[in-house]
Amino acid sequence: MCGIIGIIAKDAVAQGLLEGLRRLEYRGYDSAGIATLVDGRIERRRAEGKLANLARRLEREPVQGLIGIGHTRWATHGLPTETNAHPIATDRVAVVHNGIIENFQALRAELSEAGYVFQTETDTEAVAILATYFLDRGLTPQQAVAETLARLEGAFALAFLFAGEHDLLIGARRGSPLTIGYGDG
């Protein structure tokens, strides 16, 4: 089990993401991270272990951004290292994921064959790179996620953040819970 969160707001979201992750802490985790957009680029801060480590990282290296996603990871595929911590990202998309992608090895082989390079040991990276594959072929984020979800086997909750898209988060779930809220600001 793990926790995922996404926020689009009128003020910087980093501390709100951290607070959201604190509220999900009870679910258990072994690393944590957030991603936001700064000038349209995906910026990440991740840390092994407890949220206090991520909080310290954010104090040392603050990150701006009015949109972002966050994750507390309970590793199922790959060690609980910073490299494997979510958000898992390419230049175009960042992903947080609760659950397991059962067919990640087949997807990984297919995408490696197509020339994409994997940086982590996670099943989740197949989701990020598959979405990137579709974005690279000119699909919109919505289309790219729809095509990606159609290829996934397993149970998951996912949130996607896209480079250059300051007003868009996409959430998806199959089997795992996910809620959406609307608030003032």
Cα first-last separation, the chain: 29
In the complex with ligand GLU, the residue whose CB is nearer, 21 or 170, is 21
Q: Which stretch binds ligand GLU (CB under 6 A): 11-19, 34-42, 95-103, 109-117?
A: 95-103
> What are the distances in angstroms from CA 98 to CA 19, 20, 95, 138?
18, 15, 10, 27
The two three-digit tokens of residue 56, written as one number: 């310290």
Binding mask 96-125 for ligand GLU (x = CB under 6 A): -xxxx---------------------xxx-
**Nearer residue to ligand GLU within complex by CB, 46 or 97:** 97
Task: Give the shortest CB-7-to-ligand GLU separation in angstroms.
Answer: 19
Which part of the chain contacts ligand GLU (CB under 6 A), choosing from 43-51, 67-75, 140-148, 165-173?
67-75
| Total residues interacting with ligand GLU, rule: CB under 6 A | 14
Q: Rule CB under 6 A: which of 123-162 touch ligand GLU? A: 123-124
Asked if residue 155 lies in contact with residue 99, where contact means CB atoms within 8 angstroms, the answer is yes
Per rule CB under 6 A, is residue 2 in the interface with ligand GLU? Answer: yes
Q: 70 or 99: whose CB is closer to ligand GLU? A: 99
36/120 Cα distance (integer angstroms): 20
Residue with the CB atom nearest ligand GLU in the bound state: 2
Minimum distance, C-beta of residue 35 to ligand GLU, in the bound complex (Å)? 14
* Cα–Cα distance, 47 to 161 (Å, whole number): 19
Q: Assign 144 to helix, strand or coil.
A: helix
Query: Which residues have C-beta within 8 Å of that of residue 125, sequence separation ≥ 6?
Result: 88, 104, 108, 118, 119
Outline where 70-179 has alpha helix (H): 104-113, 124-136, 141-151
Residues near ligand GLU, by CB under 6 A: 2, 73-78, 97-100, 122-124
